[in-house]
Amino acid sequence: MADRAEAQLRAEIVEVGRRLYARGYTASNDGNISVRLDGGRLLMTPKSVCKGFMAVEMMCITDLDGKKIAGDRDPSSEMQMHLEVYRQRPEVNAVVHAHPPIATGFAVAGIPLDRAVLAEVVTTLGSVPIAEYATPSTKELPEAVRKYVKAHDGMLLANHGALTMGGDLFGAYYKMETIEHFAKISLVARLLGGERLLSRDEVTRLEGLRGKYGIASPAPICADPAASLAPLIGDAIDCQIVQSPVSTTGERLVPGSTDGAAGQGVRGPVDGEIRLTYSELTALIEDAVRNLR
């Protein structure tokens, strides 16, 4: 029976790899996929193969420390990142890493996908933060991921790609699809003048749907930017920080974007620009120069 289960999982990894490559989420040999087997073992993609053309016998088996137990090929060089997820999240059974171009564009630009924009994204993923840049295949990468992995099922990796996890292989894979789709929609909305964000009350309502639809989420949403400062103090973030403005008019959609990081509270929600006349500006500069002396 165990062999049948393993054969099924090998076939699923091949299929997930085929889809990642077919959708352009990976190029060349990018990306990696892993799944838990019984007995504290992991089945994962080997290094240096194109994920679009894998065969079931290519996979390798490691223990939870990454030591190879079986397989002709060596495990992926980014395996450490997967191991970190399995260590921190006992309920996670599968991990997918890829470089989907639009989500990765956000990761390269340093822009997290954390705005309350789409109901299904708020309900399922909450927010998609960016783990700090780390050299791929080094120890730095699992360290960067560690901060976000307890509270998020998906994250961007700065100047690198994206990482998702789930209860099974397709669960983890579909989250990668959701992130890339969300990134695409966010990009288009920004080209068209910016997202209209869901209000904080609406986000609270959407979070309530998680229970109703049995959506398992590793952490609650902290829609209040002030509350989001608290979890930043520790070394691990323990809630999903979603940017959603308070609606003063009771509207569910609030025009304008929350420019700047959540919790900074420096810029206005609609327009951070301050307009000064020439003489006001001159007076300000003169005042600043006087203070310098």
How many Cα atoms occupy the beta-carbon half-sphere of 255 within 13 Å? Answer: 3
CB of 146 to Zn ion, least distance (A): 17
Binding track over 149-188 against Zn ion, x by CB under 5 A: ------------x---------------------------
Cα-based angle 149, 218, 194 (whole degrees, multiple of 5)? 80
Cβ neighbours around 35 below 10 Å, total: 27
Residue 78 annotated to the active site: yes
CB 158 to Zn ion: min, Å: 12
Give the shortest CB-138-to-Zn ion separation in angstroms: 12
**Residue nearest Zn ion, CB atom distance:** 161
Q: How far is the CB of 198 from Zn ion (least distance, A)?
A: 31
Site for Zn ion in 22-51 (CB under 5 A): none
From the CB of 150, what's the least distance to Zn ion, in Å? 21
Please enumerate in sequence order all residues whose Cβ is within 8 A of that of 76, keeping only pairs 6 or more positions apart, or say none: 32, 34, 44, 45, 46, 47, 82
Q: Which of 78, 180, 202, 207 is catalytic?
A: 78
With CB under 5 A as the rule, give the number of residues binding Zn ion: 1
Name all contacts of 172-176 with Cβ < 8 Å and 24+ positions apart.
Answer: 172/16, 172/92, 172/94, 172/95, 172/96, 173/16, 173/19, 173/20, 173/33, 173/94, 173/96, 175/96, 175/124, 175/125, 176/20, 176/25, 176/96, 176/98, 176/100
Closer to Zn ion by Cβ: residue 100 or 161: 161
Q: Which is nearer to Zn ion, 46 or 161 (CB)?
A: 161
Tokens representing 213 are 């639809």
Closer to Zn ion at the Cβ: 51 or 115? 51
Nearer to Zn ion, 27 or 58 (CB): 27
Q: Which is nearer to Zn ion, 154 or 161 (CB)?
A: 161
Q: Which DSSP helix (H) or strand (E) runs through 284?
A: helix 278-292
Contacts to Zn ion by CB under 5 A: 161
- Catalytic residue positions, numbered: 78
